[in-house]
A and B are shown apart, each in its own frame.
Chain A
Amino acid sequence: MGLAPEELEVLWLSLRVAFWSVLVSLPFAVAVAYLLARASFPGKALFDAVVHLPLVLPPVVVGFFLLLLFGRRGPLGEILEQWFGIVVAFRWTGAALAAGIMGFPLMVRAIRLSFETIDRKLEAAASTLGAGRVGVFLTITLPLALPGVITGVLLSFARSLGEFGATITFVSNIPGETRTLPLAIYTYTQTPAGDAAALRLSVIAVLLSLAALYVSEVLVRRAARRVAGEDAVG
């Protein structure tokens, strides 16, 4: 199954967008998950709802709001451009932003669940051995939440690869810049004689998703064994 150069470009772009969307959103997701799992503050329910909004909103709506906020004349878009020199509107970075936001609730949910199942008595034990709050988090809480972090990362990665509505609304469908896998498949289906290419890319999408699920399963099992305190096998 040979791929045309522009099809390879689509694949490469999609992986890059998904990779960066996950990498950048991970620290935020860990922080938000920790807050939701451990802290209690006024407005927590509302905060929880806002975090989960992308899961239930039509993706087009998310994309539209992103356009309003992060467009070149949007309030956040101007700040990003002036202070950091980053332009996201109609760039692949914008596709990564859209994908990251759409995958965010999935990532937060998985990590939060992991935080909630941790035996907090272990954290108290760590504090008697000299670990402060940060020390406890880095040596006990986060390592024990690893299965959830892995699950969250792969769910969000897979979600990013499949992101369509928010992306096309926010950054349009520019070949080589924002035309990710789902957008390319859509484009081919709208093109005369594009069916073969659409099929090839769809098969690739299926294989990528399967691979992501498989890798996630293997990693989670390994991490689960580890946090259960079992000896390494093999």
Chain B
Amino acid sequence: MLSVDIERGLRDFRLAASFEAGEGVTALFGRSGAGKTSVVNAIAGILRPDRGRIAISGETVFDSGQGIDVPTPKRRVGYVFQEGRLFPHLSVRQNLSYAGLFARGMPGSEFDRVVELLGLRDLLERRPGNLSGGEKQRVAIGRALLSSPRLLLLDEPLASLDAHRKSEVLQYIELIRDEVKVPIVYVSHAVEEVVRIADTVVLMSAGSVLAVGSAEDVMGRPDLRPGEGKFEGGAVIDARVVEQDIDHDLATLAFDGGTLTATNVDALIGEPVRVRIRARDVSIALDRPQRISIQNVLEGTVAEIGAGANGIVDVAIGVGAATLRSRVTRRAAEQLGLKKGLTVYALVKAVSLSRSA
């Protein structure tokens, strides 16, 4: 669907990114300044790489070797900017139908569908200046969707929103992902967002791609810690809601290897959810503990013990087909006599598990 292989050298910053993205949501993940926005700008044709090739849906839109450089308006790429960039002199309705002025519009039925999907009906006659941050981003997403895009680029669309608005807009983005069949490239430095919505993750650091793979693989790798201290090693597990205990505000999630009890999961029974379990939230016991508050006791086998540093080791525990990670002191690992193949119990507090954690 999208194929990127570009280089751009600036005096003190070199960008060299190469990856392929398929259906669904591809996250460009990495800390600020990793070059994520440069990559999406190159895809949109706003930034011109020195060398390389970019293809969208099989069409080459940039190829330095063949001298191809399709101008931005002709690339049919919907771009949602961090700050929304709504046109202040136009109403919400005019913003949404702007692409129609340039033969990039969509039929009225599609307009109505997007307006309903994003809940924009009551905003149509308003002007952008008086919209809240969340409303602005919803309009910006709608405007991009209504420009007949082959690809949707979202550049940190939640960055300027408060926590409440973040989760609201994220729900709309999930809705778009599920309802509109357009591949999405999602730029973010927030682990929670990436874990929650990405199918594929492209991990970037200092202008180059460190890893490309499924969200479980990339986000679960303990050695990849690009975030500003916020990203901690852990495991990412795809699960499905099997029970919602309304009385106790607890959800039971089934995954390949057992069930998990988690708090604060705003999903219906049957819905797929992805949880991230930080390594520091997982303890290890050799026997199944009795009379303990911990809600999640998962039997597994030690798959790997990391080299460790500063008195700390990371232990990978295979639970069914999933792999949990536990971060314990080296002394604890020695006291328990942890070694590969040993049967252990991974203990995870339910309160450390929530959908957004």
The answer to whether A and B assemble together is yes
Q: Which residues of A contact B79 (CB under 8 A)?
A: 125, 128
Q: Which of B82-90, B107-115, B158-166, B209-217 contacts A (4 or more CB under 8 A)?
A: B82-90
Number of A-B contacts (CB under 8 A): 84
Q: Which residues of B contact A128 (CB under 8 A)?
A: 44, 46, 72-73, 75, 77-79, 144, 147
Given known A-B contacts A129-B98, A129-B143, A124 and B127 have beta carbons under 8 A apart = no
Among A124, A125, A131, A227, the one with the most B-chain Cβ atoms within 10 Å of its Cβ is A125
Please give the distance in Å from B106's CB to the nearest CB on chain A: 11
* B102 and A132 within 8 A (CB): yes
- Chain A positions 165 through 187: 1 when the CB is less than 8 Å from some CB of chain B, otherwise 0: 00000000000000000000000
Whether, in the assembled complex, A27 has its beta carbon less than 8 Å from a beta carbon of chain B, the answer is no
* A144 and B89 within 8 A (CB): yes
Whether, in the assembled complex, B128 has its beta carbon less than 8 Å from a beta carbon of chain A, the answer is yes
| Distance of A135 Cα from B99 Cα, bound (Å) | 11
* A227 and B88 within 8 A (CB): yes
Please give the distance in Å from B137's CB to the nearest CB on chain A: 13
Q: Which residues of A contact B102 (CB under 8 A)?
A: 129-132, 135
| Distance of A131 Cα from B98 Cα, bound (Å) | 9
Residues of chain B at interface, number, CB under 8 A: 31
Interface residues of A in 106-132 (CB under 8 A from B): 119, 121-122, 124-132
Judged by DSSP, the binding face of A is helix
Among A119, A125, A129, A230, the one with the most B-chain Cβ atoms within 10 Å of its Cβ is A129
| Distance of A126 Cα from B81 Cα, bound (Å) | 12
Q: Which residues of B contact A143 (CB under 8 A)?
A: 89
| Distance of A126 Cα from B89 Cα, bound (Å) | 13
Whether, in the assembled complex, B246 has its beta carbon less than 8 Å from a beta carbon of chain A, the answer is no
* B89 and A231 within 8 A (CB): no
* A132 and B129 within 8 A (CB): no
Whether, in the assembled complex, A52 has its beta carbon less than 8 Å from a beta carbon of chain B, the answer is no
Q: Which residues of B contact A130 (CB under 8 A)?
A: 73-74, 99, 101-104, 147
Q: Which of B78, B87, B130 contacts A126 (CB 8 A)?
A: B87
Q: Provide 5 A-B residue pairs closer than 8 Å at the C-beta atoms, listed in order of the A residue.
A: A128-B75, A130-B74, A135-B73, A139-B101, A229-B129
- Chain B positions within 8 Å of A, measured between CB atoms, are 44, 46, 71-75, 77-79, 81, 83, 85-89, 98-99, 101-104, 126-130, 143-144, 147
- Chain A positions within 8 Å of B, measured between CB atoms, are 119, 121-122, 124-132, 135, 139-140, 143-144, 146, 226-232
With A122-B85, A127-B72, A144-B88 already in contact, 11 other A-B pairs whose C-beta atoms are closer than 8 Å: A128-B75, A129-B73, A130-B74, A132-B102, A139-B98, A144-B89, A227-B88, A227-B89, A229-B127, A231-B129, A232-B127
